Amino acid sequence: MSTQPGPTEILIVRHGEKAGDPKKEDDAGRHLSIQGSARAAGLPSLFVAAMPQLTCALRLHAPDFDGSYRELPVKGKAARFPTPNFIFATARSKNSKRPIETITPLATALNLPIMDRFADNDPDIQQMVKLILSDCEFMGKIVLICWHHGKIPAIAQALGIAKPPKWDGKVFDRVWQITFRKGKRRWWIRRRCFCMAIRQSSDR
């Protein structure tokens, strides 16, 4: 067992695309747009191990449809990021349940519960970070957080990053990685990382 207190790595993503103004969280309804739903469905390709490869079966139940992941004994592409052991998402509100919707496919693929009791405000963010960093359940593990873009810098700062940049309101395809090694925090941003622009990536 790791002797490092807290997780070894924390990954932070924004929810998928929304209808209306991407910089506003309170217009055009609570749900993901079609593009955001497609991004959510593709999210497991970033975090799920290459073997077995997952396929996505879609079924029509007029006027609706649903889908499920199935394991195929064929090796796929290696995951770009470590596979999370725990998943957090912003609690649903009257304005949005997009973080939960975004992370649901990945949670389904990994058979993990979504920890969604913390709201999008500073006191709840502080409580969430305190839990992640201090509870022995998360020691040595990989934690993924899906949140609203406006508060992602506050999460990073609470995790010990001195001057995190703002998250551009028009951007949905970033993964922030924070690693904890021997008491030191290292972090970087992976750009153009998932679904709609999965063909290329760069680090900053």
Alpha carbon of residue 92 to chain centroid: 15
Within-domain flag for 55: yes
How far separated are the first and last CA of the chain, in Å rounded? 32
Residue 2 domain-assigned (yes or no): no
Three-state DSSP class for 4? coil
Cα distance between residue 5 and residue 3, in whole Å: 6
Contact of 88 with 143, CB cutoff 8 Å = yes
| 69-73, 174-178, 194-198, 199-203: range with highest mean pLDDT | 174-178
Categorize the per-residue pLDDT at 96 as very low, low, confident or very high, splitting at 50, 70 and 90: confident
Once rounded to an integer, what is the mean pLDDT over residues 29-41? 88
Whether 144 is in a domain gets the answer: yes
The domain total for the chain is 1
3 within a domain of the structure (yes/no):
no
Name the pTM for this structure.
Answer: 0.84
Whether 82 maps to a domain, the answer reads yes
CATH for 134: 3.40.50.1240
Residue 1, domain member (yes or no): no
Tell me the DSSP string of 59-116.
Answer: EEETTEEEEEEEEESS--PPPSSPPPSEEEEPPP-SS--HHHHHHHHHHHHHT--EE-
Assess if residue 121 is contained within a domain.
yes
For residue 176, which of 198, 145, 139, 142 has the smallest C-alpha distance?
145
Helices (H) and strands (E) in the chain, counts: 5, 9
Q: What is the domain range of residue 94?
A: 9-203
Residue 81 belongs to some domain of the structure: yes
Helix axes 98-110, 34-42, angle to 10 degrees: 30
Chain segment 98-146, per-residue pLDDT in tens? 999 999 999 999 999 999 999 999 999 999 999 999 999 999 999 999 9
pLDDT, tens digit (0-9, with 9 covering 90-100), for 44-76: 889 987 667 777 788 888 888 787 877 778 777
State yes or no: pLDDT of 184 exceeds 80.
no
What is the share, in percent, of the chain residues with pLDDT greater than 70? 83
